[in-house]
């Protein structure tokens, strides 16, 4: 293969299609075939240039066939590692041991162990741990209760791919035995949870939410699952995700919003958010590439944390985009998210993108000393809210101000072509599922509209390799630009989908939290987000807790799953 052929901006997927054409036509380069590339590439070549290219391009079919002869597992990343750290910046270094996040014992009320009684279902992790510490509840009892809730309501929500009853009860029994010996692993000891079904768990199906993989068994366990096992948490179920981590449509149906069963829960962490919101599990693990924690959390009134890229190991998780995928907790409060994150973050030799940075959450009661950026639209003294969404956000801004924060106008400014940045994701995803497209098994996918993955994967094959590299270079410029701008504030408070903030911060790897801040006129929850500096999960979780406590929205739960009961937020004894 000549060097010149690599410098030519050949289409990644078009070339593969070309190879198929070549294998079925005796004269692949006759009749001016190369003339058809001008419009797509935006380049014009002379006939002499085309004649010169013909031999080099003609070598591609053989190359493609040799590539297809190699088995490449989904988990195998390209031979480069994405790093969100701006040039000239040192990542935080864990130079000392930080204690595990601990909270004072919580006030708890009465409950029964009937799955129809929701009082236990909506207690915080701290309340559940307090009950077990005081001997009022065992892990086996709690796990049995949660399995009952999943059985009772899981089909209604279409949120469960499989219950892991045998594994869960064995874990719970072990946690009770350890507790009896005075061996407490931490604040998650004995507490059940659910996993988005793109996390591998040995001896269970890992379906990725998609028909072609619904019987898939991956004989390993994801690092995040192992970390939660080590923390004493009890895995009770695999929860639904939109097929191949997009949307809320999976091979078994469409996961529902617990607040409105006529509406999907959004995706792709559809089952994780819906099950947590409905009190089927105390917490769940989700993933985000471009909104898959934020969006379903907003839709279902859950609290979610999208960590800094590289804070949580992706080993054993389905890869959609090796440079954008992130794993984080979906809970019912910021403090619950902090407890879970404390257990799952950290470096992992099996994931070269991970960092070993410190985390030391402390409960705060004010926002004194913090400078919070707010989109300039809402900081204009003459601004009048134009919608109920804007009114809710303005109320949240006032809560932050009353809690002591200094508010300043802040908008991300850049002149970079972000419109094309989505192709960074689709091209990586098309590569991750190359075999699915080539085999034709993508026809088995339930969702087949133009915006669905099967069509996106096919279209991505026509994206030129040179332009894809250029997009990555522009991404490097974006990382530097956003880093310099965000230094002006401690964090950013904004509507979750404000302008291009969601896309920008997923590309740069910045962390964010999302939590409910009100209800629509139809009684459905809506949320707000706080965006932080790289590796600064601590401050955005602490700030989120302060605002969340003042708002009190997270203490309200979907009526169909509560029997009309309301569980008040925990208080300190």
Catalytic residue list = 196, 268, 292
HSE-CB at 404 with a 13 A cutoff on CA atoms is 9
**Which position has the token pair 């701006």?**
86
- Who contacts 12 (Cβ-Cβ below 8 Å, separation ≥6)? 427, 430, 431, 460, 461, 462, 463, 464, 465, 468
Give 566-570's long-range contacts (Cβ < 8 A, gap of 24+): 567/109, 567/118, 567/119, 567/122, 567/123, 569/124, 569/333, 570/106, 570/107, 570/108, 570/123, 570/124, 570/126, 570/127
Helix (H) or strand (E) holding 515: strand 512-519
Start-end of H helices in 59-198: 60-68, 125-133, 139-157, 165-180
Phi/psi region, residue 242 (left: phi>0; alpha: psi -120 to 50; beta: rest), is: beta
**How far is the C-alpha of 299 from the C-alpha of 291, rounded, in Å?**
12
Neighbours of 211 (CB within 10 A): 18
Beta bridge partners of 356: none
**How far is the C-alpha of 47 from the C-alpha of 339, rounded, in Å?**
65
**How far is the C-alpha of 157 from the C-alpha of 178, rounded, in Å?**
34
**How far is the C-alpha of 205 from the C-alpha of 193, rounded, in Å?**
17
**How far is the C-alpha of 233 from the C-alpha of 340, rounded, in Å?**
9
Give 176-184's long-range contacts (Cβ < 8 A, gap of 24+): 176/138, 176/139, 176/140, 178/232, 179/132, 179/139, 184/133, 184/232
Contact present, 305 and 328 (Cβ < 8 Å): yes
Using CB atoms within 10 Å of the CB of residue 505, give its burial: 0 to 12 exposed, 13 to 18 middle, 19+ buried.
Answer: buried
Instruction: Give the distance, in angstroms, between the CA of residue 301 and the centroid of all CA atoms in the same chain.
Output: 16
Give 1-6's long-range contacts (Cβ < 8 A, gap of 24+): 1/56, 1/59, 1/63, 2/56, 2/59, 4/56, 5/56, 5/57, 5/59, 5/60
**How far is the C-alpha of 559 from the C-alpha of 350, rounded, in Å?**
43
Using CB atoms within 10 Å of the CB of residue 170, give its burial: 0 to 12 exposed, 13 to 18 middle, 19+ buried.
Answer: middle
């Amino acid at each position: 293969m000549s060097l010149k052929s690599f410098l030519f901006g050949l289409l990644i997927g078009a070339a593969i299609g070309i190879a198929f054409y070549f294998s079925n036509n005796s004269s692949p380069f006759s009749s001016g075939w190369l003339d058809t590339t001008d419009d797509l590439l935006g380049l014009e070549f002379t006939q002499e240039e085309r004649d010169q290219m013909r031999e080099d391009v003609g070598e591609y079919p053989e190359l493609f066939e040799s590539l297809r002869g190699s088995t490449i597992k989904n988990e195998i990343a390209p031979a480069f590692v994405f790093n969100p750290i701006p040039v000239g910046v040192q990542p935080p270094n864990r130079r000392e041991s930080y204690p595990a996040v601990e909270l004072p014992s919580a006030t708890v009320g009465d409950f029964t162990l009937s799955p129809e009684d929701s009082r236990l279902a909506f207690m915080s992790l701290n309340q559940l741990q307090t009950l077990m510490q005081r001997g009022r509840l065992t892990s086996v009892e709690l796990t049995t209760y949660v399995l009952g809730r999943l059985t009772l309501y899981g089909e209604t929500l279409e949120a469960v791919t499989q219950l892991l009853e045998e594994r869960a009860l064995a874990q719970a029994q072990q946690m009770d035995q350890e507790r009896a010996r005075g061996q407490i692993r931490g604040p998650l000891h004995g507490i059940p949870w659910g996993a988005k079904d793109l996390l591998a768990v040995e001896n269970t199906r890992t379906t990725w939410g998609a028909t072609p993989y619904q019987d898939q068994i991956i004989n390993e366990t994801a690092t995040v699952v192992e970390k939660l096992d080590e923390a004493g948490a009890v895995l009770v179920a695999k929860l639904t995700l939109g097929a191949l981590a997009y949307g809320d449509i999976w091979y078994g149906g469409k996961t529902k919003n617990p607040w409105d069963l006529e509406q999907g829960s959004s995706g792709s962490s559809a089952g994780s958010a819906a099950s947590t919101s409905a009190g089927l599990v105390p917490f769940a693990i989700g993933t985000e590439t471009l909104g898959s924690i934020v969006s379903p959390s907003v839709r279902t009134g859950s609290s979610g944390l999208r960590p800094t890229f590289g804070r949580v190991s992706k080993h054993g998780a389905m890869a959609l985009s090796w440079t954008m995928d992130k794993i984080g907790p979906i809970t019912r409060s910021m403090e619950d998210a902090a407890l879970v994150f404390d257990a799952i973050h950290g470096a992992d030799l099996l994931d070269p993108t991970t960092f070993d940075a410190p985390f030391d959450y402390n409960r705060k009661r004010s926002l004194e000393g913090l400078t919070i950026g707010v989109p300039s639209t809402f900081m204009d003294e003459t601004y009048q809210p134009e919608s109920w969404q804007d009114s809710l956000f303005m109320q949240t801004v006032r809560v932050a101000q009353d809690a002591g924060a200094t508010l300043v106008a802040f908008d991300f400014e850049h002149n970079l072509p972000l419109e094309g940045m989505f192709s960074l994701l689709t091209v990586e995803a098309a590569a991750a599922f190359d075999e699915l497209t080539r085999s034709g098994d993508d026809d088995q996918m339930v969702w087949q509209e133009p915006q669905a993955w099967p069509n996106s994967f096919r279209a991505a094959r026509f994206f030129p390799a040179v332009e894809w590299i250029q997009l990555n270079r522009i991404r490097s410029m974006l990382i530097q630009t956003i880093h310099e701008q965000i230094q002006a504030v401690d964090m950013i408070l904004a509507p979750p989908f404000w302008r291009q903030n969601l896309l920008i911060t997923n590309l740069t790897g910045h962390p964010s939290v999302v939590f409910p801040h009100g209800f629509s006129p139809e009684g459905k929850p809506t949320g707000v987000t706080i965006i932080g500096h790289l590796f600064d999960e601590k401050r955005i979780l602490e700030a989120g807790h302060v605002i969340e406590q003042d708002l009190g929205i997270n203490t309200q739960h979907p009526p169909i799953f509560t029997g009309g009961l309301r569980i008040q937020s925990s208080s300190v004894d």
